[in-house]
Amino acid sequence: MDITGEENPLNKLRVKIEPGVDPDDTYNETPYEKGFCFVSYLAHLVGDQDQFDKFLKAYVDEFKFQSILADDFLEFYLEYFPELKKKRVDSIPGFEFDRWLNTPGWPPYLPDLSPGDSLMKPAENLAQLWVTEELNMPAIEAVAISSWKTYQLIYFLDKILQKSPLPPGKNKWVISSIC
């Protein structure tokens, strides 16, 4: 949105491709990030991650092998959580589902991502150890990456790439230490 502007019609979740608009231009990070914020908001409304996970499983079971519209998804959501439908969470001022889908600009709700910091901090710290001029091999070897999840390894490698080029000879050590 910083590049295209907040009012750009392509910064909506539900984009209508007008004549003369290249469909490739509609695929950018905005729908993914804004969609993530919307799904996080829906989970926030439920208030219980286990309940929301059960909803997601039911959603996949209900609509597998089908293409559906956002309206179908949201209708299923409100039917699955009748107490939220009764509270009319789809029309809370400023957070209306219609606004999420049809209004360009920043999402009205940003999820708290701070719990993820504790998962990514070790990967960030290890990357920092690799880019120092003098390698501290005992500190590097003390990091137990065998228990890391794939996304932590990818994050670590991404951090290493951001700091590239590494000093000569370190590339093979990085690869051998994670393999």
pLDDT single digits (tens) 31-86 = 888 999 999 999 999 999 999 999 999 999 999 999 999 999 999 999 999 999 99
How far from 127 is each of 137, 152, 155, 159, 175, CA to CA, in Å?
13, 11, 9, 6, 12
pTM of the model: 0.67
* pLDDT 10s digits, 86-108: 999 999 999 999 999 999 989 99
Reply yes or no on whether the pLDDT at 171 is more than 60: no
Residue in the block written with tokens 């230490």: 177
Reply yes or no on whether the pLDDT at 173 is more than 60: no
Residue in the block written with tokens 């519209």: 69
pLDDT of residue 169: 59
Angle at 11 between CA 5 and CA 17, to 5 degrees: 120
* pLDDT 10s digits, 146-167: 888 888 899 898 888 887 766 5
- Residue 33, CB half-sphere, CA atoms under 13 Å: how many? 13
8 Å CB contact between 33 and 109 = no
pLDDT of residue 81: 98
